[in-house]
Amino acid sequence: MAKKKNKTEETDASVEAFLDGVSPDQKRRDSVILNETMKRITGCEAKMWGPTMVGFGSYHYKYDSGREGDYFRTGFSPRKQNLAVYIMPGFDKFKPLLAKLGKYKTGKSCLYINKLDDVDFATLEELITSAFQLMARKYGP
């Protein structure tokens, strides 16, 4: 049986070209800020994952089912409705930070923000930093 390929994989596409094409202007500006912030926090270069996700760092996972693959440790995607910030460990360990963050919604590991002005940016930086460090402890540097 052929191994199932992951839908989202790292590509060679240009992050800068992708961000240049983001609209409207506010979302593009917020995306550039997130890109620079995540680069500084992680020490990793931004990479495109699939056609619309900007990821930083990577890790290898393996589920009990045998499925395995690689994914980014943190990242974001400027979606039509909002900015999706990927907090890969999920949110259970970060409730005190979320209480200070501002206006947002969450999914399993997605933090949905309409615009960066809706959140306390220092708290967002702390959340991204803490989640990235947690991933490093779990999966190695």
Q: Is residue 3 part of a domain?
A: no
The pLDDT, as a whole number, for residue 139 is 85
Q: Which helix (H) or strand (E) holds 48?
A: strand 46-49
User: Nearest-CA neighbor of 57 among 79, 74, 37, 36?
Assistant: 74
The pLDDT, as a whole number, for residue 6 is 66
Q: Is residue 81 part of a domain?
A: yes
pTM assigned to the model: 0.91
The pLDDT, as a whole number, for residue 1 is 39
The number of domains in the chain is 1
Q: Is residue 6 part of a domain?
A: no
Q: Is residue 121 part of a domain?
A: yes
- The domain of 20 spans 15-139
Q: Is residue 27 part of a domain?
A: yes
Q: Is residue 99 part of a domain?
A: yes
The pLDDT, as a whole number, for residue 4 is 53
The pLDDT, as a whole number, for residue 79 is 96
Q: What is the CATH number of the domain that holds 110?
A: 3.90.1150.200
Q: Is residue 2 part of a domain?
A: no
Q: Is residue 8 part of a domain?
A: no
User: Could you tell me the mean pLDDT of each successive run of 10 residues in the chain, 141 residues long?
Assistant: 63 96 97 98 97 94 82 96 96 96 96 98 98 92 77
